[in-house]
């Protein structure tokens, strides 16, 4: 990246009218592992790639339940993401307590964006280094928002953030028109395919990804490993039948992941359970 004399402080403008510290914060988001989100009229699905540092450690939690009707996936500095999730949870609880109704998603993202903006205009603070995909349901339907460290937020039909997210975005751009009326299962399948795009050749296993769903009549929850693996297996079988040009290692990967999966599922259940909510 460029080093220049206007990037020491977040409160210093460059002559071109840029705040470099904020842009560097957005870079941090691009370095994090991928997170994707997509929505239909009635459901929103979040997915992310979970890479553990080593085989010995558990993976970082990147999807957080904020309330029954809102969840968030993060990319970037996960510690910042954790803190912001706690803030979001508190806001939802306080709103529910006062108004006895769920906090509309649009309000929450504005509050989040304002919180991020504060950090871009104080010399003793630094911007949050995390991008958030906020998925939620309220009276006006299903929503997916992206909050960035700059304090901006946008609503999306589908989006991907983090490293190698461009591959997922390309896939989503091809398919997004079908999302609006897609069924819940199709939406989850599309999310898994988008995640696979970011893996770039690596086999897609339920161990490396996390998927969460929120929808009408379905409170936000993270799908368990078994369900995710079943869906992966289901569409990989279809892919093989349709495309003999599919890589041979998908088949091998499928068998390899099917056998150790029960043990890993149990072991992962112990290690992963405290993280999953």
Partner 1 sequence: MTKQQANWSPYDNNGGSCVAIAGADYCVIAADTRMSTGYNILTRDYSKICKLADKCVMASSGFQADVRALQKQLAARHLIYQHQHNKQMSCPAMAQLLSNTLYYKRFFPYYSFNVLGGLDNEGKGCVFTYDAVGSYEKVGYSSQGSGSTLIMPFLDNQLKSPSPLLLPAQDAVTPLVEAEAIDLVKTVFASASERDIYTVNKLELVIINAAGIRREYMELRKD
Q: Which residues bind partner 1 (CB under 8 A)?
A: 65, 86, 89-90, 93-94, 96-97, 273-274, 276-277
Instruction: Output the smallest distance, CB 91 to partner 1, in A.
Output: 12
Q: Which of 42, 35, 38, 49 is nearest to 188 (CA)?
A: 38
Question: For helices 165-175 and 184-199, what crossing angle results, to 10°?
Answer: 140
Cβ nearer to partner 1, comparing 39 with 65: 65
**What angle is formed at CA 38 by the lines to CA 67 and CA 77, rounded to 5 degrees?**
65
Cβ nearer to partner 1, comparing 50 with 150: 50
Cβ nearer to partner 1, comparing 85 with 254: 85
**What angle is formed at CA 209 by the lines to CA 22 and CA 70, rounded to 5 degrees?**
65
Cβ nearer to partner 1, comparing 89 with 126: 89
Instruction: Output the smallest distance, CB 102 to partner 1, in A.
Output: 12
Instruction: Output the smallest distance, CB 272 to partner 1, in A.
Output: 11
Question: For helices 260-272 and 248-258, what crossing angle results, to 10°?
Answer: 60
Instruction: Output the smallest distance, CB 97 to partner 1, in A.
Output: 5
Q: What is the CA radius of gyration of the chain?
A: 19
Sheet holding 218-222, edge to edge: 158-161, 35-39, 43-49, 209-215, 218-222
Instruction: Output the smallest distance, CB 35 to partner 1, in A.
Output: 20
For residue 2, CA distances in Å to 5, 120, 164, 170 come to 10, 20, 21, 28
Sheet holding 130-138, edge to edge: 63-67, 70-76, 130-138, 141-147, 153-155
Cβ nearer to partner 1, comparing 65 with 196: 65
What's CA 247's distance to the chain center, in Å?
27
Instruction: Output the smallest distance, CB 277 to partner 1, in A.
Output: 5
Cβ nearer to partner 1, comparing 243 with 269: 269
Instruction: Output the smallest distance, CB 131 to partner 1, in A.
Output: 21
Cβ nearer to partner 1, comparing 93 with 266: 93
């Amino acid at each position: 990246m460029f080093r220049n004399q206007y990037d020491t402080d977040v409160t210093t403008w460059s002559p071109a009218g840029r705040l470099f510290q904020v842009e560097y914060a957005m870079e941090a988001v691009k370095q994090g592992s991928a997170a994707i989100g997509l929505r239909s009229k009635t459901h929103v699905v979040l997915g992310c790639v979970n890479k553990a540092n080593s085989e010995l450690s558990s993976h970082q939690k990147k999807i957080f339940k904020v309330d029954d009707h809102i969840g968030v996936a993060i990319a970037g500095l996960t510690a910042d993401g954790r803190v912001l999730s706690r803030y979001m949870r508190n806001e939802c609880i306080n709103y529910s307590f006062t108004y006895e109704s769920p906090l509309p998603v649009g309000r929450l993202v504005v509050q989040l964006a304002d919180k991020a903006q504060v950090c871009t205009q104080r010399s003793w603070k630094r911007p949050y280094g995390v991008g958030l995909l906020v998925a939620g349901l309220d009276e006006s339907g299903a929503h997916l928002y992206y909050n960035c460290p700059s304090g901006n937020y946008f609503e999306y039909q589908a989006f991907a953030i983090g490293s190698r997210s461009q591959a997922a975005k390309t896939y989503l751009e091809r398919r997004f028109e079908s999302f609006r009326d897609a069924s819940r299962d199709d939406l989850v399948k599309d999310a898994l395919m988008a995640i696979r795009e970011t893996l770039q050749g690596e086999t897609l296993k339920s161990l490396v990804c996390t998927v969460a769903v929120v929808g009408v009549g379905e409170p936000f929850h993270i799908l368990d490993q078994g369900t995710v693996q079943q869906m992966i297996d289901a569409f990989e079988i279809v892919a093989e039948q349709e495309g003999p040009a599919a890589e041979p290692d998908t088949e091998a990967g499928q068998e390899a992941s099917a056998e150790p999966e029960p043990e890993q599922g149990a072991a992962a259940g112990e290690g992963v359970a405290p993280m999953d909510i």
